[in-house]
A and B are shown apart, each in its own frame.
Chain A
Amino acid sequence: MMTQASDKPNATGHILVDHLRVRFGSKAAAVEAVSDVSMEVKPGEFVSIIGPSGCGKSTLLNVVAGFVKPSEGTVTMDGKATDKPSADRGMVFQQYSLFPWLSVRKNVEFGLKQKGMDANHREQAARTLLGLAGLLAFENHYPDQLSGGMKQRVGIVRALATSPQVLLMDEPFGALDAQTRVVMQQILTNMWQRFRISVLFITHDIDESIFLSDRVYVMTARPGRIKAEIPILLPRPRTPDMASSPEYLRIKQQLRDLITEESLKAMGGELKDSGLAGFDVEVGPKGVAELI
């Protein structure tokens, strides 16, 4: 299945988000989390979405994953609506999501077991993938015996095991310390280049988005909208020392300006929220972005 993944022509894993709106709550008290978002991830592309917290970027990802239904608009992968979760859209969560009762290897085998693969092949596939991530020595450990970075690596390997067309990542390194985070970014880049699958990556870390992505979408404060689309044309493979190149610094400055603007709006919104009732959900659908 490894060879399958690398031989696969880069035509699958095309995500198309078209005029997506997501509202939560009943008609009167509905809050718009995502507001008229159109975007795409081309086959084999690494795309990040960056924005202030609470801007709806996780909601957007959850629609692509199939956990949340669009209120308006469509989200498709390779032409098919993403109306329920599926193994061809692998997901890595911010929280550690390994099954604590399964060993590292059994965690990686989990998706293959659902596909009905027999135990021998499962074990072989899991061991190959764990070897790639430098985790083979820990295959029989339980998740609680691993460090945070290792847990997330297993999470990535587990999501890749079923050969998904796309990897959805919801701030997967958010809980890790800065050192581990940099290492994890390199490992992820490495895995992505090997598997050649599309990645949709949610983050609020500017450096992370630049280091990893082909393109970065910047989202506005709630309700989330696409504010800008920034191509990252730095050559690959990317190295940490690129962080001081003029091109990198230019992109970083640009992204920081865009995000600072939105963060300020988001904070203004929070101030207003607490002034209103203390309940986020009761704020009107427009948000404070327009009021300022």
Chain B
Amino acid sequence: MRTATSLNRVDPQAADAAQGPSLALAPKPEATPSGVSPAAQQAETPIRRVAAWLRSALPKLLMTMLSLGLFVAFWYFATKYKLDFYIRFTNIPSPGEVLDNASRLMHSEIFFNNMYVSLRRILLGFGIATVLGVVLGLLIGRYRGVKALLFPLFETLRPIPSIAWVPMAIMLWPTNETSIVFITFLGSFFPILLNTIHGVNSVDPVLLRAARCLGTSEYGLLRQVVLPASLPHIFTGLAIGMGVAWVSLIAAEMISGQFGIGYFTWEAYALIEYADIAIGMIVIGVLGLLCSGAIRMLGNMLMPWMASSNHGGPK
């Protein structure tokens, strides 16, 4: 341990150049950086790294394939022998038929247009819900007056499932398109709003005090402290909201739609194109998965500090 006398001899220029004398100020016991790269220490060569990855991932991969394989096999045999034991496989398309229809639809412009229309509705409804949910959530969470004014209204409307709004929405909005976007918006709005409010409420008060001591204005506090501190909760809300948005969209499309992947799926039933039903379902699942993945990616991009904290520091 250095004495105070030797510390005093550090001059700013030298310390600015950093590593020389300023190390006297960086005491050994706590100077080890953490979370730099724990993985780098384990794997020496790329080949070994791949091998190690395979060894750890292979069993899981095999089990995944086995589980999916069993499902498809059951599907195949159930439709081949037209099983009928309370559940009826008599009209269910076989995996082969689905595959055939899928390759046909790959060349269908209408099919891709349906996907495009659904994605656009999601983007609009979910986007508006994100903006409104986050902004209102920040205000409700931070200002008692805003909360007193708006929260009772939202709490009254929230228990009504977005699907229940379909007839009302059709009357309310000028076009079918806007009413479907509205239903999608409603579905995702409340999870986003509530999680944002929760995020604002769980901001560590010491961060707000620290910011105020650094001369932060009220707007600066909201924008530079409350918002980033709430981001993890906001993204939880976005993930849930995206799920509910798809549920709402598909239901709305099935009931009142023209175009859209939900409409496609329902239309396939009406037109006795049973294989297309399965294709519609699979596409809905894949699109939902992609949208959730996009949310997660955006979250990782906007919250790089979360990644570093998960790998653990010292302390």
Question: A142 at the A/B interface (Cβ < 8 Å)?
Answer: yes
Q: Is the CB of A132 within 8 A of B25?
A: yes
Stretch touching chain A among B61-69, B124-132, B211-219, B243-251: B211-219
Question: B308 at the A/B interface (Cβ < 8 Å)?
Answer: yes
Mark interface residues in B185-208 (1 if CB within 8 Å of A CB, else 0). 000000000000000000010110
Q: Give the A-B contact count at a CB cut-off of 8 A.
A: 167
Residue among B25, B214, B215 facing the most chain A CB atoms (10 A cut-off): B214
Question: B167 at the A/B interface (Cβ < 8 Å)?
Answer: no
Residues A233-251 near B (CB distance < 8 A): 237-241
Question: B51 at the A/B interface (Cβ < 8 Å)?
Answer: no
A262 to nearest B CB, angstroms? 27
Q: Is the CB of B26 within 8 A of A237?
A: no
A201 to nearest B CB, angstroms? 16
A58-B58 Cα distance, complex, nearest whole Å: 57
Q: Is the CB of A91 within 8 A of B209?
A: yes
B2 to nearest A CB, angstroms? 7
Q: Is the CB of A95 within 8 A of B206?
A: yes
Stretch touching chain A among B95-103, B146-154, B225-233: B225-233
A99-B17 Cα distance, complex, nearest whole Å: 26
Q: Is the CB of B1 within 8 A of A183?
A: yes
B4 to nearest A CB, angstroms? 4
Q: Looking across the interface, which residue of chain A has its beta carbon closest to that of B23? A: A134
We find that the number of chain B residues with CB closer than 8 angstroms to chain A is 54
Q: Is the CB of B24 within 8 A of A90?
A: no
Residues A133-171 near B (CB distance < 8 A): 133-138, 141-150, 158-159, 162, 168
Question: B156 at the A/B interface (Cβ < 8 Å)?
Answer: no
Q: Looking across the interface, which residue of chain B has its beta carbon closest to that of A3? A: B12
Chain A residues positioned under 8 Å from B225 (CB to CB): 99
A162-B210 Cα distance, complex, nearest whole Å: 13
Question: A182 at the A/B interface (Cβ < 8 Å)?
Answer: yes
Question: B272 at the A/B interface (Cβ < 8 Å)?
Answer: no
Residues of A within 8 A of B (CB): 2, 65, 67, 85-87, 89-91, 93, 95, 97, 99-102, 110-111, 114-115, 127-128, 131-138, 141-150, 158-159, 162, 168, 179-180, 182-183, 186-187, 189-190, 193-194, 237-241
